[in-house]
């Protein structure tokens, strides 16, 4: 049984008082808070062995190399990768998605499939690859509740499709895509699947082998880890076959100079995709974050969030004036609720009121999902508000959020 009150104590920022009120942080879909275990792991690197990993053979270099390698192993266990080498350190999920969009071999006449529900980072790299190389881009349209019709996928994925980018859990509707079924359809027709797991991995158990996905993109800052660190998972044989994204130091085993020519010999993955000096402290923090979540259990995190989500959705439905974006089926949804209030013109006004009057912090805007907002006839300039829950939130947070929504509706009616 998880002691959620004790979990909250791991997050120092939750002790802050703002404008005489306790901080209520409901913006974890944008950026999660950081537990002391992650902060301590990163500080240990800076305080005890702040050296180059994989380069220097002295004692500090050795300790840095071991911690860096251990972090990769922890993350591989977190997503059940077959080998640690299948986990590439990047800056964020956006960079991971760009690597796949640019480095998978595609030929003229091939097709790429994406969806109307994608975060811009999950669609635009593939839009630009298609534009650059004369490829056809096919868009699977999400239904109004943020779910997909599997028949649409069967129709979209023909034998010319070579690459698919799909958001596993939407950052705007919270809905979870039928990834297993999509992968099976794709593989039957010779296509690779890129899963955007930035929102899925922090909140649900992710088993890349069970899903048989070819690639996965994760942002560590959304899963209790540091900023500026992401992970690209790829099946090892695919990573070996891909072009390189960046080249330079740490990507080569040798560079010969012969007959007035420079001849490089490149390393295999993961070094192949990790050019230059890396964010060692960040990677170590990412490993600590993965270890922290595994110790709690992602099933427990999922259950806790859905309990809060169920409570909030039921209460909001009784208020009137609140309009939801996406399904209210918590069994196919990550712990967030995106909404508008019909008496309020702009979502920014909702976020501003909650912040200033109740110290409740939510996100407002179009959430980098302009196509889906347009599909739903919501101008991105008006946007929607999003409250997102995580393992450190509790019913008290939910009640203060609801109190703020009630007060806003009353003030604006």
| pLDDT single digits (tens) 342-387 | 999 999 999 999 999 999 999 999 999 999 999 999 999 999 999 9
Secondary structure (3-state) at 81: coil
Mean pLDDT of all residues in the chain? Answer: 97
Same domain flag for 191 and 281: yes
* Whether residues 223 and 369 fall in one domain: no
175/261 same-domain check:
yes
**Residue-number span of the structural domain to which 319 is assigned:** 4-30+297-412
51 and 92 inside one domain: yes
Q: Do both 272 and 359 map to the same domain?
A: no
CB atoms within 10 A of CB 303: 11
DSSP 237-274: HHHHHSPPS--STTSEEEEEEETTEEEEEE--TTGGG-
Q: Are residues 148 and 222 in the same domain?
A: yes
Residues 289 and 301 in one domain: no
- Count of residues for the chain? 413
241 in Cβ contact with 218 (< 8 Å): no
Same domain, 154 and 248: yes
CATH of the domain at 363: 3.90.1150.10
**Do 252 and 315 lie in a common domain?**
no
62 and 193 both lie in a single domain = yes
Query: Do 256 and 345 fall within a single domain?
Result: no
The residue among 274, 295, 316 that closes a domain is 295
Domain boundary among the residues 263, 295, 327 is at 295
CA 288 to chain CA centroid, nearest Å: 17
Using the 3D structure, point to which of 295, 327, 347 is the last residue of a domain.
295
What is the pLDDT at residue 413? 79
Res. 34: pLDDT tops 90: yes
- C-alpha–C-alpha distance, residues 300 and 78, integer Å: 15
What six digits make up the tokens of 376?
């739903």
pLDDT tens for 186-230 read: 999 999 999 999 999 999 999 999 999 999 999 999 999 999 999
Q: Are residues 211 and 340 in the same domain?
A: no
Mark residue 260 as left, alpha or beta (left: phi above 0; alpha: psi -120 to 50; beta: remaining).
left
- Residues 6 or more apart whose CB falls under 8 angstroms from that of 1 comprise none
The answer to whether 163 and 155 have CB atoms below 8 angstroms apart is: no
Quick one: what percent of the chain has pLDDT higher than 70? 100
Q: How many domains does the chain have?
A: 2
Q: Look at residue 320 in the predicted model and tell me its pLDDT.
A: 85
User: What is the pLDDT at residue 55?
Assistant: 77
Instruction: Read off the pLDDT band of 56 (50, 70, 90).
Output: confident
Annotated active-site positions, please? 368
């Amino acid at each position: 049984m998880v002691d959620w009150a004790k979990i909250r104590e791991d997050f120092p920022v939750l002790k802050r008082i703002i404008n005489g009120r306790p901080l209520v942080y409901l913006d974890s879909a944008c950026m999660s808070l950081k537990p002391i275990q992650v902060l301590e792991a990163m500080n240990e690197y800076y305080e005890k062995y702040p050296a180059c990993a994989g380069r220097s053979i002295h004692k500090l270099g050795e300790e840095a190399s071991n911690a860096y390698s251990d972090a990769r192993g922890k993350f591989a266990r977190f997503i059940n990768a077959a080998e640690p080498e299948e986990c590439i350190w990047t800056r964020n999920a956006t960079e991971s998605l760009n690597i796949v969009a640019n480095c998978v071999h595609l030929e003229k006449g091939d097709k790429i499939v994406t969806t109307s529900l994608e975060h811009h980072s999950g669609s635009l790299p593939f839009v630009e690859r298609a534009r650059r190389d004369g490829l056809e881009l096919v868009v699977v349209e999400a239904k109004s509740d943020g779910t997909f019709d599997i028949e649409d996928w069967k129709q979209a994925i023909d034998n010319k499709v070579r690459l698919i980018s799909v958001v596993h859990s939407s950052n705007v509707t919270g809905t979870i895509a039928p990834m297993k079924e999509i992968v099976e359809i794709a593989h039957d027709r010779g296509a690779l699947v890129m899963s955007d797991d930035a929102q899925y991995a922090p909140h649900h158990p992710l088993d890349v082998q069970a899903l048989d996905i070819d690639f996965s993109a994760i942002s560590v800052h959304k899963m209790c880890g540091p900023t500026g660190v992401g992970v690209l998972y790829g099946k090892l044989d695919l990573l070996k076959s891909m072009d390189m994204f960046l080249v330079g130091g740490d990507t080569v085993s040798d560079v010969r100079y012969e007959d007035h020519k420079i001849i490089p010999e490149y390393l295999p993955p993961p070094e192949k995709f990790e050019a230059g000096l890396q964010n060692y402290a960040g990677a170590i923090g990412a490993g600590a974050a993965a270890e922290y979540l595994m110790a709690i259990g992602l099933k427990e995190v999922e259950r806790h969030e859905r309990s809060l989500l169920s409570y909030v959705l039921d209460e909001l439905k009784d208020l009137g004036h609140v309009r939801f974006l996406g399904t209210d089926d918590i069994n196919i949804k990550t712990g967030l609720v995106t909404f508008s209030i019909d008496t309020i013109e702009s979502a920014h006004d909702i976020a501003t009121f909650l912040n200033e009057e109740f110290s409740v912090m939510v996100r407002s805007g179009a959430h980098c999902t302009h196509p889906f907002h347009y599909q739903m006839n919501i101008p991105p300039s008006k946007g929607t508000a999003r409250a997102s829950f995580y393992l450190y939130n509790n019913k008290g947070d939910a009640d203060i959020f609801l109190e703020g929504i009630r007060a806003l509706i009353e003030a604006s009616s």
